[in-house]
Structure 1
Amino acid sequence: MHRLFPFLQWVPELRRREIWRSDVVAGVTVAAVIIPQSMAYARLAGLPAVYGLYAAFIPPVVAALWGSSRHLATGPVAMASLISATTVGTLAAADGDSYMAYSILLALMVGVIRLLMGVLRLGNLVNFLSAPVVIGFANAAAIVIATSQLSNVLGVRAESGQYHYQTVINVVGAAVAGIHSPSLGIAALAAAILVGLRRRYGKILVAVAVTTLCSWALGFDGEVVGDIPRGLPSIRLPRIDFDIVPQLLTGAMVLTLIGLMEAMSIAKTIATKSKQHIDVNQELIGQGMANLVGSLFQGYAVSGSFSRSAINYDTGAATGFSSVVCSLVVMATLLFLTPLLYHLPQATLAVIIILAVLSLIRVKPLLVAWRVSRADGATAVVTFVVTLAFAPQLHIGIFTGVLLSIGQYLFRTMRPHVAYLARHPDGPLVDADAHGLALDQRIAIIRFDGRLYFGASSFFEDKVLEVVSRLPDLRYIIIDAGGINRLDATGEQTLRRVVEDLRAIDVEVYFTRAKQQFVEVLERSGAIDYIGRDHFFDWNQQALEHLWDQMEPAYRARCPLNVPTPQAESGSWMI
């Protein structure tokens, strides 16, 4: 029952006065932020401001009722708005009827995809977006979002280029020819309020109120929001154009993955503080239903907002009821307050967007990725550059990063770490090459740290034959299989072939520390009998003792692999 109606877990808590009072305070506070933000993000999405309010009306309630997080604040966000704009912008002119219809259809598609992923429990697909890809994409997208607002801040109009950087160049050229000073002044005033006002939660509302009053009182001749239809959105099924659906599919998939990554990152961060369990698949269902139902109320694509979720948590929200309160405030705004927003300058909304996305520009994670792994750092940089270069076609940056990540993963699994072990003076068996130690000439111990599957089998065979060529007097090879987590059919055949080829030159192969799943594969295939059950040992030291018993007695004493301390066996697996 709780999976179908997860809100039943927290609804009984509303009987306690302190719970619902905290939720009311949090909901009203978040509403004060989402109302101006949603109008700004709607403009970023290429839609009239009222569509932002529509997207802030129903989706927060639906996401709160069917999601797993009590604090995730769903609604219009910068990233989803930009991706929506770049997806629909290639198919229709901004602000036109077709553009609005396609934006709503895109939200419906995102909702269906997320809902299906949640029902089918495919939440782990988000793992295809590695941290370096997200870092590179988020930084590039933030720059694209911020620079897309320059024309509104400067009060100029410029021709759009095929790529975003061309549009920015055109805007700069138009600004050189002449800036609209009143627009720049309004933008500066809004920025001063947003940056200088110490109060954390109400400053966006203050900036909107002050600049709207100034616009009305001074007869501001720049661009304003204008007429916003009064009343609630009508319920209607989005216009489904099956010729357009395939063209929106790529954008819908990008929105699904990026939106899920955003929502889960936010939800898990806050859940760590609130000690709440987050179910990825349930959150997918909640986010999917929010977009699906929202599209029936003329809303465009939405996701979780980090800033509003943080405000929701910090102001004391205890349950999803805070999102219900937030939506009620948005509803009241649509019913009664929209005439007051006529004189709201577009420059103010532009500044709200720019300051909101500045937090997405983070250089430190990129530097950390570079220090951790040059390959990861390169992936982040390439994703960043490609996203910037091909904007507004943002999906090219995402797909490039994903392909690079998959390529790196395959390369790493195809060439896992292999160590030739030698006895350290302190006792344990360690990587001989890493510690500058000599190998024993007659017994080699090889540790393979990875899956022995079709992609890595040839590499494994090469490494075994390499030690044979390095040690002409070699008689025994011990394969330390403790790091082999998976063995497939190709890996099993490779093991058979290696054992057979080495026996042909009088070299016997033994296995130690093999995991149960490794042994089970050999049992099912019959390879364990071919290799010999007496060739498997729990520990390296046991295998060594067995081999020394078969060799001349004097060799044990002089063997470099002999244990110099009683503690050696306990650390014999260490590198």
Structure 2
Amino acid sequence: MIYKLFPFLLWFSDYNKDKLSADVIAGITVAMVLIPQSMAYAQLAGLPAYYGLYAAFLPPMVASLFGSSRQLATGPVAVVSLMSAASLEPLATAGGPQFIAYSIILALTVGCFQLFLGVFKLGLVVNLLSHPVVNGFTNAAAIVIASSQFSKLFGVYVDKAPHHYQTIINVGKSAIHYTHLPTLGLGILAIAIMVILKRVNPRIPSVLVAVAVTILISKFTGFNNDKFIPLENIKDPQIVKTITGFNADVNKIEELGEQRAKLNHDLKIIKGEEKDHGLHIASEKELDIEHHLAIIQAKIAQIKGAAHIKRENLRLVHFAVEKDAGETPVFYTGSTLPNSLETDNHKWRIKVGNKLLDVKNLKMIGAGAVVGDIPRGLKISIPKAPEGTSYIAAFIQLLPFAIIISLLGFMEAIAIAKSMAAKTGQKLDPNQELIGQGLGNIIGAFGQSYAVSGSFSRSAVNLQANAVSGISSVVTSIMVALTLLFFTPLLYHLPQAVLAAVIMMAVIGLVNTSGFIHAWKAKRSEGIISVIAFVCTLYFAPHLEEGIMVGVGLTFAMFIYQHLRPRVALLSKSKDDTLRDAVKAGLRECDHIAVIRFDGSLIFTNATYLEDKVLTYIAEKPDLMHILIASKGINDIDASGEDAISILIDTVRGSGREISFCGVKEEVLAVMERTHLIDKLGKENIYPDTRSALESIYRQIHSKGDCGDCPLKNYMPVQIRG
């Protein structure tokens, strides 16, 4: 029992200095990959880069302490990061305080759901996501993730469109005219370093080397060249007017958002009161609030559209600055630039996002974008509910997304863990792994972490570095903590394009086209579902959950159809002396005896289907005298199935024919005995196998002599006439 509560105690049964040394080296090696990767994935999740470090601090240690796998490296991963951002996008502005609060609550919700599944041993629920669906989704997600980094790689800024492919088109258009070549150069350099080092020696931490080299280049070449100025230093009245108008729009959107939140709160109270009083018709007050909400929503959409146009116009403007103008220079546009002015030869732009522009401290970008300031220290605190809502309301609101993220994250984690266990010989407990992942997310949320999962790339690094136990993950967490406490200033000059390159290189491994081919070969319907999940995920991006839901819906539809219409085959003897599906194998069928195989449980969903098929065979074969139901494929039978057999016996015997069963399983036979169906059928009409059944039936049907060649006794292919 103690080992169930504290599974990490099993690590120390034969632990020694050599194993500790191996774990420490592995932990440090993983940390070298995790630190830059986590910052990149945080931005993919719509958060400031340093929140990746928070997500890399507690979760790796906690998940390893309470999980099952000794080498699984938990932390920020690409797919979960993107899913987190996509889930929260409709609720708050990416990077803002509300968005951050929702991200942390989402991690808490994901952790609670995973812990619930693990404690109650419901790990099998992960099977709701079939491998073809996950394969289609993962391939599409990899493309979405990689392409989402193009704007950072080219150094251009565009607003997100309703569909991801529209955003990529806009990035392409902007890149044609406004690509920042030093940014692109550093991104390509980082990719080249990672590719070359992986080929030369996979043990070298290529990500860390790429980050270190590009930080040095960025620092000593002045790659980042930002200025902070007051609004009056911009000498173009039209630009000043646009900035003022943009800020007015942002303020109005925020004001209307607060009104919407208050009205939604009032509406919930009114609906609750009406429910308590047993009222089922909306009151006048309720309708009035809903009317006001619709008006506010329309106004927000209209103002957002106007703000979007202003934001795009501001991003397109290039400014010039006088050479050696100091820290707070005056900025000119092409139309206001004095002819005699000698400029610094930089193209300056306003840094404008979705937030209010600080007119006293406008950020002007004169070169490439870097990570910038990272707060020192560990942020340990109780997660705060997003402003204007409660913990319970946020939990309920995020639960549908949390379920999808939980299942996807766990599927990824357990697949990695199983792969490593096959190499190490370790025995895995999926439910214990769920507990570990769940606690990692829950406790991580108290350290300001967003949702995390097991990482394939870092787990591979951990295994290659000869990690013996979860102590390696504890060491990794300690290294991240030391970085947060002492080394964050070293990351200031890390180019954003390099983080984009890190993400793009990481998701290449997610692309697996062979998965489509494998699914198609296994079953065409599953191959089609995999492709549909892939296409839908790409189309609906950034709302990736919709692609998953389409795939899951199709899988369930196929599952239900297969239960409604199980395979029913008429058998004949094949070349290898076994009975096979006569139609599929191209065999002749016996006119007097029908051996019918039913593949599936005989239950309420398909009870009448067997009867329909038997009646069809009777209608097609007027000389049919005996029907033998080969029951080896019938694993279960319910009351509806039993009733269907009873009716079938009456129908067949009523037509002057006989019916019998062979290969009936014990569970099915027990039901037939309890309901006395076996008495109606006759025990003499139940045979242990097909061979003994045919020997007995054949003697009955052909008692007066041989009828010649029979497809049930001889291999008789269908003759094709040319």
| 2:693 alignment counterpart | 543
- Deviation of 1:436 after TM superposition, in Å, equals 3.4
The answer for the alignment partner of 2:165 in structure 1 is 165
Is 1:548–1:556's contact at 8 Å kept on the other side of the alignment?
A: no
Decide whether aligned partners of structure 1 residues 466 and 67 sit closer, same or farther in structure 2, where only a CA change above 3 A counts.
same
Q: 1:180 deviation in Å? A: 1.1
- Give the Cα–Cα distance (whole angstroms) in 1 for the partners of residues 540 and 575 of structure 2: 57
Residue aligning to 1:218: 221
| Structure 2 letter corresponding to 1:41 | Y
Say whether residues 1:208 and 2:354 are aligned partners. no
1:424 and 1:210, CA in 2 relative to 1: closer, same or farther beyond 3 A? closer
1:59-70 alignment runs, 5 A limit: 59-70=59-70
Residue 441 (structure 2) pairs with residue 291 (structure 1):
yes
Tell me: CA distance 1:412–1:322, structure 2 relative to 1, closer, same or farther (3 Å). Answer: same
CA shift at 1:264, angstroms?
0.9
Seen in structure 2, the aligned counterparts of structure 1 residues 107 and 425 have a Cα distance that, compared at 3 Å, is closer
- Whole-angstrom CA distance in 1 between matches of 2:540 and 2:712: 61
| Structure 1, unaligned runs of 5 or more | 566-575
Aligned-partner Cα distance in 2 for 1:378–1:254:
22
2:599 matches 1:449: yes
SS at structure 1 position matched to 2:466 = coil
1:472 maps to amino acid: P
Structure 1: distance between partners of 2:572 and 2:705: 16
Corresponding residue for residue 261 of structure 1: 411
- Quick one: distance in 1 between partners of 2:545 and 2:192? 35
Name 2:398's counterpart in structure 1: 248
Compared with structure 1, are the counterparts of its residues 552 and 415 closer, same or farther at alpha carbon in structure 2 (3 Å cutoff)?
closer
Once the two structures are superposed, what CA deviation does each residue of 1:159-185 show, in whole Å capped at 9, x if it has no partner? 221221221122112112211112111
In the alignment, what sits opposite 1:77? 77
Give 1:378-397 correspondences, 5 Å limit: 378-397=528-547
Letter in 2 for 1:232: L
Distance (Å, rounded) in 1 between the aligned partners of 2:573 and 2:55: 66
Distance in 1, matches of 2:641 and 2:522, equals 31
Aligned twin of 1:355: 505
SS of equivalent residue, structure 2 residue 705: helix
Quote the Cα distance in structure 1 between the aligned partners of 2:92 and 2:437. 26
User: What's the CA shift for 1:310?
Assistant: 0.6
Q: Specify the code of the residue in structure 2 equivalent to 1:359.
A: G
State the shift of 1:4 in Å: 1.2
Amino acid across the alignment from 1:192: A
Does structure 1 residue 401 correspond to structure 2 residue 551? yes
Shift of residue 451, structure 1, vs aligned partner:
1.6
* CA distance in 1 between partners of 2:660 and 2:394 (Å): 61
Preserved contact between residue 590 and residue 712 of structure 2 (Cα < 8 Å): no
Residues 1:199 and 2:201 aligned together: yes
Does structure 2 conserve the Cα–Cα contact (< 8 Å) formed by 1:108 and 1:238?
A: no
CA–CA distance in structure 2, aligned partners of residues 227 and 422 of structure 1:
77
Decide whether the 8 Å contact of 2:136 with 2:530 is kept in 1.
yes
C-alpha distance 483-182 of structure 1, shift in aligned 2 (>3 A): same
Structure 1 partner of 2:251: none
Shift of residue 306, structure 1, vs aligned partner: 0.2
The answer to which of 317-326 and 547-556 deviates more is 547-556
In the alignment, the residues of structure 2 paired with residue 313 and residue 23 of structure 1 have an alpha-carbon distance, to the nearest angstrom, of: 10
SS in 2 for 1:421: strand
Alignment partner, residue 648 of structure 2: 498
- 1:41-69: CA deviation from partner (whole Å, max 9, x where unpaired): 11111111221111111101111011110
Deviation sequence 1:261-303 (CA, Å, 0-9, x none): 1001101111111111111111111000000000011111000
Residue in structure 2 matched with residue 570 of structure 1 by the alignment: none
Kept in 2, the 8 Å contact 1:423–1:563? The answer is yes
Q: Which residue of 1 aligns with 2:279?
A: none
Shift of 1:364: 1.9
| TM-superposition CA deviations, 1:360-408 (whole Å, max 9, x none) | 1222211232233321121111111111111111110001000111111
Taking the TM superposition and a 5 Å limit, the aligned residue runs for 1:29-44 are 29-44=29-44
Report the equivalent of 2:4. 3
How far does residue 330 in structure 1 lie from its aligned partner after superposition? Answer: 0.8
Distance 2:479 2:576 in 1: 70
Quick check: 428-437 or 332-341, which moved more?
Answer: 428-437
Q: Distance in 1 between matches of 2:461 and 2:410?
A: 20
> What's the offset of the Cα at 1:552?
5.5
Asked if structure 1 preserves the Cα contact closer than 8 Å seen for 2:572 and 2:712, the reply is: no
Gaps of 5+ in 2: 225-367, 716-722
Q: Distance in 2 between matches of 1:320 and 1:399?
A: 35
Flag the 1:212–1:180 CA change in 2: closer, same or farther, 3 A: same
Distance 1:32 1:539 in 2: 63
Q: Return the letter of the residue paired with 1:543.
A: A
Tell me which residue corresponds to 2:131.
131
- 1:422 and 1:560 in contact (8 A); partners too: no
Shift of 1:147: 1.1
Q: Which residue of 2 aligns with 1:429?
A: 579
Partner amino acid, structure 2, of 1:9: L
Q: Counterpart in 1 of 2:90? A: 90
Asked whether the equivalents of residues 78 and 503 of structure 2 are also in contact (C-alpha less than 8 Å), the reply is yes
1:368 and 1:563, CA in 2 relative to 1: closer, same or farther beyond 3 A? closer
- Contact (CA 8 Å) 1:238, 1:296: kept in 2 or not? no
Could you tell me how far apart the structure 2 residues matched to 1:537 and 1:132 are?
40
Write the distance in 2 (CA, Å) between the matches of 1:555 and 1:415: 39
Read off the aligned partner of 1:217 and give its amino acid letter: F
Amino acid at match of 2:222: G
Look up the match of 2:364. Answer: none
Q: Relative to structure 1, is the Cα distance of residues 473 and 55 closer, same or farther in structure 2, using a 3 angstrom cutoff? A: same
Secondary structure at the residue paired with 1:298? Answer: coil
Query: Does the 8 Å contact 2:104/2:383 carry over to 1?
Result: no
CA contact (8 A) 1:451 1:485 kept: yes
Instruction: Tell me the CA shift for residue 505 of structure 1.
Output: 1.2
TM-score scaled by length of structure 2: 0.76
Q: Quick check: 2:27–2:462 contact (8 Å CA) kept in 1?
A: yes
Provide the C-alpha distance between the structure 1 equivalents of 2:702 and 2:41, rounded to a whole number of angstroms. Answer: 80
Separation in 1 of the partners of 2:163 and 2:712?
Answer: 67
More displaced, 518-527 or 491-500? 518-527
Matched position secondary structure for 2:3: coil
Q: What one-letter code is carried by the residue in structure 1 that aligns with 2:545?
A: H
Question: Residue 454 of structure 1 aligns to which amino acid in structure 2?
Answer: F
Cα distance in 2 for residues equivalent to 1:446 and 1:153: 63
Q: SS of the residue aligned with 2:660? A: strand
Q: Would the aligned equivalents of 1:548 and 1:555 in 2 still touch at CA under 8 Å?
A: no
**What is the aligned partner in structure 2 of residue 230 from structure 1?**
376
Once the two structures are TM-superposed, the CA of residue 551 in structure 1 deviates from its matched residue by: 4.6
- Greater Cα radius of gyration, structure 1 or 2: 2
Q: CA deviation at 1:564?
A: 6.7
SS at match of 1:461: helix
Secondary structure (helix, strand or coil) at the match of 1:555 reads coil
Shift of 1:425: 6.1
Root-mean-square deviation (Å): 1.7
What is the distance in 2 between the residues matched to 1:421 and 1:555? Answer: 23
Moved more, 236-245 or 532-541: 236-245
Paired with 1:555 and 1:464, the residues of 2 have a C-alpha distance of: 27
Distance change (3 Å), C-alpha of 1:186 and 1:551: closer
Q: Tell me, what secondary structure is at the counterpart of 2:580?
A: strand
Distance 1:553 1:507 in 2: 16
Q: Which secondary structure state, in structure 1, belongs to the residue aligned with residue 704 of structure 2? A: helix
Query: Can you list the C-alpha shifts for 1:398-423, whole angstroms capped at 9, x where unaligned?
Result: 01000111111222232222221223
Are 1:314 and 2:316 matched, yes or no?
A: no
Aligned match of 1:26: 26
Q: Which amino acid aligns with 2:114?
A: R
Aligned residues: 564
Other structure's SS at 1:510 match:
strand
Deviates more, 1:309-318 or 1:2-11: 2-11
Q: 2:216 is matched by which residue type in structure 1? A: L
Structure 2 residue matching 1:553: 3-state secondary structure: coil
Which consecutive aligned stretches of 4+ in structure 1 deviate over 6 angstroms post-superposition? none
Per-residue Cα deviation, 1:57-85 (whole angstroms, up to 9, x for no partner): 11011110111101100000011110111
Tell me which residue corresponds to 1:460.
610
Q: Percent identity?
A: 48
